[in-house]
Amino acid sequence: STTLMSGKRGLIMGLANDKSIAWGIAKACAEHGAELAFSYQGGALKKRVEPLAAQLGSDILVECDVSDPASLDELFAELERVWGRLDFVVHAIGFSDKAELRGRYVDTSPENFRTTMDISVFSFTSVVQRAEKLMTEGGSCLTMTYYGAEKVMPHYNVMGVAKAALEASVMYLAEDLGKKGIRVNAISAGPIKTLAASGIGDFRYIMKWNEYNSPLRRNVTQDEVGKASVYLLSDLGSGTTGENLHVDAGYHVVGMKAVDAPDM
Ligand code: NAD
């Protein structure tokens, strides 16, 4: 372990269980010396998140539903009370009705379009709005995206449209906050088996396709996303903002099926 992040205080949002991408990020930040706080979506998740937080030496655990502005206000008021200052925030949150993560994008319902955009896009902006006030010595904000924002992927549908808007938000937030020394970036992770991912149609097929066709000929892990997050959240990333860093075994550079890929 190193001291790359010692003295840094960060909020991790979106930890559901030990398969969450947020868990890979939290472990890597803690390993490099960061002090962590966690927010979780609802009471039912508390019993899962509490022991994980404790494992990393954190007892700052706040319930927060990002669809509720009052809940976000309370979270940041609590951080202001216990820490006063914030150095980084990780937003690893997304949601869409899984009935619409299959079939055709064109059939998206207006209700689910709005919910998906609110939870998966606007929530990052509303988190950054509040984090800005606590990032008095500069800071780093990070969100999680997917290649389905850039190219059409099977079943990703409205989530792809939301991720495209999220990636655009990263650029606009980076410009707004750069003058204050606050950096805003995204990691575009390759497919990883998590609770959220299991809602996507044919997810096993998508995992296999990536394994066979990415330059590294394998999938990535939560821990690899964690390592990349340390770069963006620590001083190593001091010159990087508005970036979308692909941690996808290189899949985003590929133009067609690999010649050695097995038939599927
Ligand atoms: P996950 O299910 O472990 O995490 C999703 C989290 O979102 C959960 O903790 C859930 O509680 C939280 N959440 C949903 N609605 C919320 C709300 N209203 N308020 C507060 N929290 C809410 O799955 P994950 O795959 O780790 O997802 C984390 C992020 O990574 C998501 O943005 C996802 O789109 C993104 N991502 C995932 C993959 C993948 O293949 N797993 C790839 C690229 C990007």
Would you state the pLDDT for residue 75?
Answer: 98
Which pairing describes strands 88-91 and 139-145: parallel, antiparallel, or unpaired? parallel
pLDDT above 70 (res 1): no
Q: Per-residue pLDDT averaged across 87-93, rounded?
A: 99
pLDDT at 109 over 80: yes
| Rounded average pLDDT over 13-40 | 98
Has residue 258 been placed in a domain? no
pLDDT tens digits, residue range 144-170? 999 999 999 999 999 999 999 999 999
Nearest-10 Cα torsion for 97, 98, 99, 104: 100
Is the CB of residue 194 below 6 angstroms from any atom belonging to ligand 1?
yes
Model pLDDT, residue 43? 85
User: Which CATH number do you get for residue 139?
Assistant: 3.40.50.720
- The verdict on residue 263 lying in a domain is no
Q: For residue 103, tell me if it sits in a domain.
A: yes
DSSP-assigned letter for residue 247 = E
Phi, psi of 117 (to 5 degrees): -65, -40
Q: Kindly state whether residue 86 falls inside one of the protein's structural domains.
A: yes
Q: What is the mean pLDDT of residues 118-140?
A: 98
Per-residue CA distances from 44 to 49, 56, 91 (Å): 10, 21, 20
Q: Is residue 259 part of a domain?
A: no
Tell me which residue range forms the domain holding 92.
9-253
Determine the distance separating the centroid of ligand 1 and the alpha carbon of 175, expressed in angstroms: 25
pLDDT, tens digit (0-9, with 9 covering 90-100), for 165-222: 999 999 999 999 999 999 999 999 999 999 999 999 899 999 999 999 999 999 999 9
C-alpha span between 249 and 252 (Å, rounded): 8
CB 153 near ligand 1, within 6 Å = no
Q: Does ligand 1 lie within 6 Å of residue 92's CB atom?
A: yes
Number of domains in the chain: 1
Q: Is the predicted pLDDT of residue 248 greater than 70, yes or no?
A: yes
Mutation test of ligand 1: which of 15, 19, 20, 121 has the most ligand atoms closer than 8 Å to its C-beta? 20
Instruction: Answer yes or no: is pLDDT of 264 > 90.
Output: no
Within a domain: residue 4? no
pTM to 2 decimal places: 0.98
DSSP β-bridge partners for residue 245: 187
